[in-house]
Amino acid sequence: MLSKTKVVIIGCGGHAKVIIDILKSDPEIDIVGCTDPYARGWVSDIPILGDDTILRELYDSGIQHAFIAIGDNAVRQRLSRKAAFIGFHFVNAISRFAYVASSSQLGTGIAIMPGAVIQADARIGDGSIINTNASVDHDCEIGSLCHAAPGVTLSGNVVIGEGVFLGTGTKVIDGMHIGEWSILGAGAVVVDAIPHHCLAVGVPARIIRQWD
């Protein structure tokens, strides 16, 4: 019988609870615990081992796989870099209640939540989150460290840059491009391209702020 992959989960908030639930159902994964800068005790029956300073100790003890269970894209980027520098490899958390086309291409450290749909030839970058009931249609390209919140709908051939946050219920028509680290407010409907580093809201989505 093959041994399970021992995984530490970095984070212990609400997002981590969903990740724990998904990984618990994976027969190849053994969750050894979570880390968090402040919390102590347990989360979803998984022990909180301490803060992130113990990651090096865990790695040296033979626990060399991790999942960054943080919803904020910038924080997830920082912690991913820290864990990768130590040497951790990232596992995927893919719900058995999601649909993932066999021709899709998935990075590492990604979360695909229950009810999510990933259609043919879609590409999901490292560290991205496809949240509950979000839909990514054919030939979409989602960059690394993105977060498609619950109920997001992407039509075919949409290109999403690194670090983009798509708020709950965002809808994007086919062929649109959304620039890196932009934010779409909940319920936004994207019918024109969105540049890098923008906040856009409304129906149709309009840019209300842009930063360097």
For every residue of 64-124, DSSP letters joined together read -EEEE----HHHHHHHHHHHHHHTPEEPPEE-TTSEE-TT-EE-SS-EE-TT-EE-TT-EE
127 and 62 belong to one structural domain: no
50 and 101 belong to one structural domain: no
Average pLDDT over residues 51-68: 96
87 and 121 belong to one structural domain: no
Average pLDDT over residues 194-210: 97
Q: Answer yes or no: is 208 within a domain.
A: no
pLDDT tier at 3, thresholds 50, 70, 90: confident
Q: Residue 141 maps to which CATH number? A: 2.160.10.10
Average pLDDT of the chain, as a whole number: 96
85 and 126 belong to one structural domain: no
The residue from 91, 119, 151 where one domain ends is: 91
Q: Between 112 and 3, whose confidence is greater?
A: 112
Q: Answer yes or no: is 209 within a domain.
A: no
pLDDT tier at 1, thresholds 50, 70, 90: low
Per the structure, the count of domains in the chain is 2
Q: Answer yes or no: is 206 within a domain.
A: no
3-state secondary structure of 15: helix
Percent of the chain residues past pLDDT 90, beyond the cut: 96
60 and 153 belong to one structural domain: no
- Written as six digits, the tokens of 40 are 């102590």
Residue range 131-155, pLDDT digits in tens:
999 999 999 999 999 999 999 999 9
Select from 180, 157, 160, 170 the least CA-distant residue to 131: 170
pLDDT tier at 38, thresholds 50, 70, 90: confident
146 and 126 belong to one structural domain: yes
182 and 98 belong to one structural domain: yes
Average pLDDT over residues 66-92: 97
Q: Please, which residues bridge with residue 177 across strands? A: 159
Query: Phi, psi (5° rounding) for residue 10?
Result: -95, 110
User: Which residues are within 8 A (CB) of 45 and not within 5 positions of it... i.e. 6 or more apart?
Assistant: none
Distance (Å, rounded) from C-alpha 106 to C-alpha 96? 15
User: H or E element: which one contains 22?
Assistant: helix 14-24
52 and 13 belong to one structural domain: yes
pLDDT tier at 204, thresholds 50, 70, 90: very high
71 and 59 belong to one structural domain: yes
pTM exceeds cut of 0.85: yes
Annotated active-site residue in 15, 65, 89, 138: 138
Q: Answer yes or no: is 205 within a domain.
A: no
Percent of the chain residues past pLDDT 70, beyond the cut: 99
27 and 123 belong to one structural domain: no
Structural domain boundaries enclosing 162: 94-200
Residue ranges of alpha helices (H) inside 25-159 are 55-60, 73-86
Q: Answer yes or no: is 171 within a domain.
A: yes
Q: Answer yes or no: is 175 within a domain.
A: yes
60 and 158 belong to one structural domain: no
Q: Please, which residues bridge with residue 31 across strands? A: 7
Q: Are 93 and 114 in contact (CB under 8 A)?
A: no
Length of the chain: 212
* Torsion from C-alpha of 202, 205, 209, 212, nearest 10 degrees: 150
125 and 185 belong to one structural domain: yes
The residue from 30, 60, 91 where one domain ends is: 91
Average pLDDT over residues 54-66: 96
- Written as six digits, the tokens of 204 are 């149709």
Active site residue 138: yes
Distance (Å, rounded) from C-alpha 49 to C-alpha 61? 14
Select from 5, 30, 34 the least CA-distant residue to 17: 34
3-state secondary structure of 102: coil
CA 21-167-24 angle, 5° bins: 5
Is the confidence at residue 212, as pLDDT, over 90? no
Average pLDDT over residues 190-210: 97
